[in-house]
Amino acid sequence: MNILSLSHCHLCVAVESLIFVLGERGEPVIISDAEGIRESKKAEQEFGFNTYVSDMISLNRTIPDIRMEECKHWNYPETLPTVSVVIVFHNEGWTPLLRTVHSVLLRSPPKLIKEIVMVDDYSDKGLAISLPQHCSL
C-alpha cells in the first residue's frame, strides 16, 4: 500500500469535507445583482469565462474527487520519481492561475514535486510583475 499517495489523498478529502464557502466542492456561484451580472459579462468577454466569480472563490477551494471508481483503489509504488509541473499560460486571469498553483501544491505529496515551472507565453496584462512576487517557492 502506498502510504504517501493514499494517506495524503484521504487527508485532503477529510479536511475538504468540513469546509464550505463560495465555489466549494465545485458548487456553482449564482450572481443575481445587476452590478455583478454586468461584471460577470465583462469578465467573460475578456477571459472567456467568469473571472468576476473566480475572484470570489478561495485559492484553496475544495474540489470533488472525480476519478473513476477503479482509480480510487489503485496501489501506487511507494518510491516514485519527483516531477516538474509545467504550467503554460497567456493572459490568464490572476486567481485561476494562482488556484492552479495552489491546487498542485496542496494536492500533491510534497516530496514528489521537484519544481513548478510557469511559462508566460507573451502575456500583455502585467502578470510578469506580480507573479514572481507571489510565487517564490
pLDDT tens digits along 91-108: 888 888 888 999 999 889
Neighbours of 4 (CB within 10 A): 17
| Strand-pair partners of 87 | 118
Query: What cell was used for 38?
Result: 454586468
Q: What is the mean pLDDT of residues 109-114?
A: 93
Q: How far apart are CA 11 and CA 8, in angstroms?
A: 5
Percent of the chain with pLDDT over 70: 77
Q: Long-range contacts made by residues 37-44, C-beta under 8 angstroms, separation at least 24?
A: 43/93
Domain ranges of the chain: 3-134
Tell me the pTM.
0.69
Neighbours of 64 (CB within 10 A): 12
Tens-digit pLDDT profile for residues 44-103? 998 888 889 988 888 888 888 888 999 888 888 889 999 999 999 988 888 888 889 999
